[in-house]
Structure 1
């Protein structure tokens, strides 16, 4: 992925009524800038960015979570020349081991989304994360991917049907909940999917086990039983397929990355094999 370090132009700041010099921010894939009390990021999909901003504008922060308010230009649009701006919110990025807080914030956030209908724009997305999500749910099969040393096939063999209602969920909460003492967790950078809430939580668990040194007990605490394990299988397919798409067809995912997935898959298999009714 190519990172763009170009700062937002003066015309964008003027349209959003922002003043001051843009300052680069850590995170946001190296593309975020702060201007006054606003954070600006370039957007790749204007339709999705406008819709996400409208969702956040309609949410009310509570004692359980808060969201940054989007800025709107005089013409009513949230996106100006490929840039969107949200209110700057204080908080520390990353889970930092606060898994219970992160899961609770996600559940409160998802309760606030339950009334919203499924947007048609989800069907039009073709970015790697959207394609990987469809792979995880068996909705596409013929996608050119990097080699995964058989791990993707192993995960797909572990899949069983699940029966759970879908709704709007944030599919990338792990690094997008900011923690600040004395304030509710802040949910940022909405990545919308129409899936069960348990799938969004399973992505958090997968990220924790893969990249944040979480203990295996996180699986049992957040995703108990066969249903939870099936959500975790899909979350692992989602993350592995995303890596394989970015790596590119004909190549192989780095061994260090494959070793992470192999270790977590083993944890899943252990729990499945302990369930004598797994194949029923």
Structure 2
């Protein structure tokens, strides 16, 4: 039950409607979506960045301020509700949205992206800062071996959205909608590779979808790093074991093998 203080802070009433997707913790109140926030300082800073990224090529679900002047209050944040539906396919269109979104993100200095320490950010440090897991478990040994096989990836870094596959929604008449900003500092081609690899691993899209990325000079590097990122992220969660890691690897292994053929 969400407290009355939180609802009042975002000018909301009622119990709200539970929304599907994500972590099943979001609730819709008329035109506002309310969801838990786990690092309020980080959330407030990325909300400020995200709200700057409006563009005719896509819509964004803008973050709303609470009555305390911040984007979060007592562990919750709110965004404007925008209509849209999720699809597994339409990958060419998703890549066009990614292009427009990352062109806008390119204008924002990477130094403005705040630091956090969740499993995804730890996985990014493994990829881009050369960190390695302490080899005290089978998971850590497996992931370190995978990371050590990665080639040099020579491409400019910028702020990216590292989880676009299921966070681009479509509409019959409106521009595509981008939700749930998951920023990182990485090459733009990596963001596209994560989008396509996730769509293959979990969205039932054919392996041949990788051909959509082949025009990029760093095709091989981007795909290998995308797979390594997803597998490494599992190892960065305390709650997961080797069985869960193997499930993730099995979902992405054919992609890894495809680019190494």
Decide: shared fold, TM above 0.5. yes
Gapped regions of structure 1 (runs ≥ 5) = 1-6, 271-280
Residue matched to 2:226 = 235
Tell me the CA shift for residue 21 of structure 1: 2.5
Kept in 2: contact 1:151–1:262 (CA 8 A) = no
Task: Write out per-residue CA displacement over residues 12-69 of structure 1, whole angstroms, 9 at most, x where no aligned residue.
Answer: 121112233322111120110111100011111111211122123223241x110012
Looking at structure 2, the residues matched to 163 and 232 of structure 1 have their Cα atoms a distance apart, in angstroms, of 14
Which residue of 168, 175, 183 corresponds with 1:184? 175
1:129 aligns with 2:123: no
Looking at structure 1, the residues matched to 195 and 53 of structure 2 have their Cα atoms a distance apart, in angstroms, of 22
Residue matched to 1:96 = 88
Three-state SS of the structure 2 residue aligned to 1:194 is: strand
TM-score by length of 2: 0.90
Looking at structure 1, the residues matched to 96 and 135 of structure 2 have their Cα atoms a distance apart, in angstroms, of 37
Looking at structure 1, the residues matched to 171 and 259 of structure 2 have their Cα atoms a distance apart, in angstroms, of 33
Which residue of 74, 92, 110 corresponds with 1:118? 110
How many pairs align? 261
Gapped regions of structure 2 (runs ≥ 5) = none
RMSD (Å) for aligned C-alpha atoms: 2.4
1:8 aligns with 2:2: yes
Residue matched to 1:210 = 201
Looking at structure 1, the residues matched to 80 and 190 of structure 2 have their Cα atoms a distance apart, in angstroms, of 28
TM-score by length of 1: 0.84
What does residue range 10-49 of structure 1 map to in structure 2 within 5 Å? Answer: 10-49=4-43
Residue matched to 1:273 = none
1:75 aligns with 2:50: no
Large movers: runs of 4+ above 6 Å: none
Looking at structure 2, the residues matched to 120 and 146 of structure 1 have their Cα atoms a distance apart, in angstroms, of 35
Looking at structure 2, the residues matched to 248 and 98 of structure 1 have their Cα atoms a distance apart, in angstroms, of 34
Kept in 1: contact 2:102–2:160 (CA 8 A) = yes
1:54 aligns with 2:41: no
Looking at structure 2, the residues matched to 139 and 156 of structure 1 have their Cα atoms a distance apart, in angstroms, of 9
